[in-house]
Amino acid sequence: MNEADLSANLKRACERAMPHCLALKHAERANRAYPDHSVTWGKFTSWWEVKFYNGRMFESPADQEIMCKRLSQQGVCYYIIFEQRKERRTLIVKPFELGAWQTAPADFKEGFDYDWVAQFIKHEHLYWSGGKSVDV
């Protein structure tokens, strides 16, 4: 299990939860400051950075943390942290709370639950777009 596997599963879950959405995985070489994913649906775009924690602290470059904070101030940006210890948890964390991700997530669920994350993303889009979805 690695971030690429987690990202691929999350992308598929978003496409199931929000038909016709544009769920993009951004190339890491292009600009490492940008979050891993963006989801555009209902005339709204959100940004998502995926991290995998398996006992070793994940890498979080300073320029990426700054970008995620800036994006969250002007729109929607969260970290999705897949934590694997004895048991698994999926955490959704605001960029300004990344330092306390284990104790202060915006939300969390036991296990690696991609569909739950996709529903969280869908909820954000419905809330911020005034409840509009666009099916083509």
DSSP codes, the chain: --HHHHHHHHHHHHHHHSTT-EEEEPPTTT-TTS-SEEEE-SS-EEEEEEEEESSSPPP--HHHHHHHHHHHHHS-EEEEEEEESSSEEEEEE-GGGGGGTTT--SEEEES--HHHHHHHHHHHHHHHTTT-----
User: What is the average pLDDT across 19-36?
Assistant: 83
- 4 vs 113: which has the higher pLDDT: 113
For the segment 70-87, what is each residue's pLDDT rounded down to a tens digit? 999 999 999 999 999 999
pLDDT score at 130: 82
| Percentage with pLDDT > 70 across the chain | 93
Residue 2: pLDDT band (50, 70, 90) is: confident
Task: At 104, list the tokens.
Answer: 């202060």
Q: What is the Cα–Cα distance from 96 to 105, expressed in whole angstroms? A: 11
Task: At 31, list the tokens.
Answer: 């600009």
Q: What is the Cα–Cα distance from 34 to 26, expressed in whole angstroms? A: 8
Query: Mean of the per-residue pLDDT values for the chain?
Result: 91
For the segment 29-71, what is each residue's pLDDT rounded down to a tens digit? 567 789 999 999 989 999 999 999 998 888 888 999 999 999 9
pLDDT score at 66: 96
pTM of the model: 0.91
pLDDT score at 135: 56
Name residue 77's beta-bridge partners: 47
- Class of residue 28 by CB neighbours under 10 A (exposed 0-12, middle 13-18, buried 19+): exposed
For the segment 4-15, what is each residue's pLDDT rounded down to a tens digit? 899 999 999 999
pLDDT score at 102: 93
Task: At 118, list the tokens.
Answer: 């996709």
